[in-house]
Amino acid sequence: MSTNETKPVELKLYKAHEKVYPRETKGRFQFKRKLAVFVLLGLFYFLPWLDWGGHQAVLFDLPARRFYIFGITLWPQDFIFLALMLIIAAFSLFFFTALAGRLWCGFACPQTVWTEVFIWMEQLTEGNRNKRMKLDKGPWNFNKIWRKTAKQAMWITFALWTGFTFVGFFTPIKELAVGVWTWNLGPWETFWMFFYGFATYGNAGFLREQVCLYMCPYARFQGAMFDKETLIISYDVARGEPRMRGKTRREAENPGDCIDCTMCVQVCPTGIDIRDGLQYECIACAACIDACDEVMETVGLPKGLIRYTTENSLAGKESRVFRPRIIIYGIILTLLLSAFGYALFSRSTIDANVIPDRNSFYRIVDAKRIENVYNLKIMNKGPVTAQYQVTATGLDGLKVDFETEDGLTAEPGELISVPIRIRADRAVANKKIHTIKVIVNEVDNPNNSSTETVKYFGYDK
């Protein structure tokens, strides 16, 4: 700041926070946002109640260390899928940000979505923007008290319900509901329910745009993913300026299209003026587009004074969507998604481990044959009880033998451990060490298999 002065200068770092009262808007983008709210929150509140094949459709069962996602059961061994999913999420973010800016912030971020709902409740109880501002300034009379109480009651109920649903993703929600009803909950459920409820209440009710401005890491680095072809919400300065209104406007010779009604400022949930240019506070909710379009229609000017456009097209240059950045991100994303899908649906639900018995190299069975002993461990990662069979390849005439009462049967999630003997001819297994493959597969579904490579000690005398 000061390069030549030796005397340090104190700058005022922060402005006191001013409450933002976003004005309600209607329009095509607000319709899409509402749709997003209904779809996303609908999924959130509805999914835990859905059952699928005898268990809750989506359940992250942490105590049992398994995740149910519809027909798929994931175990800690499937960590790779979580990692892949996070990488895919990151690339989607890069792709969509490069394409059309902060789509995530405007339409899908939980912060935005829940804030929308909380603002609706505020409008329902306290009225529109002007009424809300007047109410906050006014004295604490009966009207203010009951309106504020009603709002708080709605907010708190909704937040608690949200906390309950959140915990319902980790604990079977029907048992949880009974627990709540009979006031008989474990300390963890109670804590997380109130914690998440409180976070919802605080973030969507009070912090709102401050979360985006001060707390969100994405807001700080999203600008790095923009280029001159990225779709951004922008005010057309060339068309709008000089802005003027009222008498000045009527008397002016050549006024710009902006009538300076400040509607775009009033509807903004983060309280910025889009006419100042692209700002990091802008969450791309497109409320200003809808508001301005409505005004332009009323005054009989063409719509789109504020619109989705690119930096290049605003500067009068040619603009193209398909550029190397988009194509490369697109290809990487498609590859990752296909790999993820393929890996997920072709994965084996058998986790087999073959551990050699370390006490002996080989045992002589009779004049012709020897055997090696192993310990076979099979874990059933599938959703149903399965029976398995074991075969071995790699040498001619290998024979697998084991003794159990009911064959190799494992329930979902069960780990069975069986000693197995693999026999071979002395004449064939005549080297010191051979390498063989032990194949475990499901009796009913032979394609579902797991192959382990192990050492086999031969008869080299």
Partner 1 sequence: MPTQPITANKDFNERQIKRIFYRRLGIAIWVSFLVAAVQSVVFFAQFDPAYLNEIASITISIGRWQGYALGFVFFWGFNFITGLFCGVIMAMPRTKLAQRTAHK
Binding footprint of partner 1 on the chain (CB under 8 A): 2-3, 5-14, 62-63, 65, 76, 79, 82, 186, 188, 215, 217
Strands 386-393 and 369-380: unpaired
Retrieve residue 329's tokens: 């991100």
CB closer to partner 1 out of 80 and 315: 80
Give the nearer residue to partner 1 in terms of CB position, either 396 or 414.
Answer: 414
Distance (Å, whole) CA 378 – CA 353 = 6
Q: Nearest approach, Cβ of 293 to partner 1 (angstroms)?
A: 36
Between residues 11 and 224, which has the closer beta carbon with respect to partner 1? 11
Strands (E), 112-203: none
Name the nearest CA neighbour of 380 among 445, 453, 455: 445
Terminal Cα-to-Cα distance of the chain (whole angstroms): 85
Tokens 């094949």 locate to: 53
Residue 217 or 316: which CB sits closer to partner 1? Answer: 217
Q: C-beta of 224: minimal distance to partner 1 in Å?
A: 19
Nearer to partner 1, 14 or 140 (CB): 14
Confirm if 298 and 257 have CB atoms less than 8 A apart: no
Of 49, 145, 136, the C-alpha closest to 57 is 49
Q: Which of 7, 250 has the CB closer to partner 1?
A: 7
Given the complex with partner 1, which of 244 and 344 has the nearer CB atom?
344
Smallest gap from residue 127 Cβ to partner 1 (A): 33
Report the nearest approach of partner 1 to the CB of residue 8 (Å). Answer: 5
Positive or negative CA dihedral for 231, 233, 235, 237? negative
Least Å distance, CB 175 to partner 1, is 15
Question: Quick one: 10 or 405, whose CB is closer to partner 1?
Answer: 10
Q: CB of residue 44 vs partner 1: minimum separation in angstroms? A: 18
The owner of tokens 């929308």 is 116
Please, what is the minimum distance in Å from the beta carbon of residue 11 to partner 1?
6
Rg, the chain, Cα only: 32
Nearest approach, Cβ of residue 295 and partner 1 (Å):
33
Residue recorded with tokens 């649903």:
165
Residues 91 and 347 sit within 8 Å (Cβ to Cβ): no
Could you identify the residue written with the tokens 């059309």? 100
Determine phi and psi for 387, rounding to 5 degrees.
-110, 140
Beta carbons within 8 Å of 285's beta carbon, 6+ residues apart: 29, 33, 105, 106, 107, 112, 269
